[in-house]
A and B are shown apart, each in its own frame.
Chain A
C-alpha cells in the first residue's frame, strides 16, 4: 500500500523552539509538498520540492524552511516556533505536475 508518512500525529512545542516535521513517501514521487490547513483559510502551500535538494516557496513560506536531501524525505522546519504557527500540517507527494496528490495523515502542531 503506497504511503506518505508523517512522523507525528500530534505535537506540542514551546514558543521559540526549533521544530522539525518529517515526511516520507515510498512511491518514488518526484514532487513533495507542505501545506498548512486552518479553519476558514483552507489549504495553503508553504513549500514544495520537485527534485532532491530543490525547493520552491509557496504562498506562505515566512517562518519556515525545508530540506530534501533524499527523494523520499521532505522535512519542514520551523526555525523559531510561534503561536501563530499552531495548525494542521499536511505533507503530500505526486508523480508529476498536474497529477493527483497522495497526502499523509497530517500533524497537528500546537505551539504554546
Chain B
C-alpha cells in the first residue's frame, strides 16, 4: 500500500498563477515527520520543509506555504505567484517514528510557463 500519495503526476500553469501540490500520507504512528523536497532540472534534490505530527500550524516562507491537516492526512504545498524558476519535480516524504526509512511520494512535475 502506498504510504505517500502525490496524485498529480504533472501540473502546468502560467507564470504568476497560484498552484497547490497535493500530498496524502498514511501511517499508524502517532509521531511522524513530513517533508517536501524540490528537484529542479539540474537534478539536485533540495530540502524545503520538515513538519512533525504534533505541529499542525501552517507554515509560510515567502511565496511558499504548507497546509498540514491531520484530519485528512494531507500536507499540501502551495506556491503563490509562481515563477518559471519554480519549475521542478516536487517530492513529499514521510518519516515514521517506527521506521528508519524515509518513504517517498512519486513526485509531481510542475511546469511554469512564461
| Same complex | yes
Which residues in A have some Cβ–Cβ distance to B below 8 Å?
A: 42-43, 45, 48, 50, 56, 58-59, 88, 90, 92, 97-106, 108
- A99 contacts B104, CB within 8 Å? no
Known contacts A103-B44, A103-B46, A106-B44, A98 near B107 by CB under 8 Å: no
In contact, A42 and B104 (Cβ under 8 angstroms): yes
In angstroms, Cα B80 to Cα A67, docked, is 43
Known: A42-B104, A101-B47, A104-B44; 20 extra A-B contacts, CB below 8 A, are A42-B107, A43-B91, A43-B104, A45-B101, A58-B101, A88-B43, A92-B45, A97-B100, A98-B33, A98-B50, A98-B52, A98-B95, A99-B50, A100-B47, A101-B37, A101-B45, A103-B47, A105-B42, A106-B43, A106-B44
13 A-B pairs with C-beta separation under 8 A: A50-B100, A59-B101, A88-B43, A97-B95, A99-B50, A100-B35, A100-B47, A100-B50, A103-B44, A103-B47, A104-B44, A105-B42, A105-B44
On chain B, the residues within 8 Å of A50 by CB distance are: 100
B106 on interface, CB distance cutoff 8 Å = yes
Q: Shortest Cβ distance from B10 into chain A, in angstroms? A: 13
Interface of chain B residues 77 through 94 with chain A (CB within 8 A): 91
Ranked 3 nearest A-B pairs via Cβ: A100-B47, A103-B45, A105-B44
Q: Which residues from chain B contact A99 at a C-beta distance below 8 Å?
A: 50
Contact with A along B4-48 (1 / 0, CB 8 A): 000000000000000000000000000001010100001111110
B60 at interface by CB-CB < 8 Å: no
Q: Which of B33, B43, B50, B97 has most chain A Cβ within 10 Å? A: B43
Tell me how far the C-beta of A32 lies from the nearest C-beta in chain B, rounded to whole angstroms.
13
Known contacts A42-B106, A42-B107, A97-B95; A102 and B47 CB within 8 A of each other: yes
Query: In the complex, what's the smallest C-beta–C-beta distance from A27 to chain B, in angstroms?
Result: 12
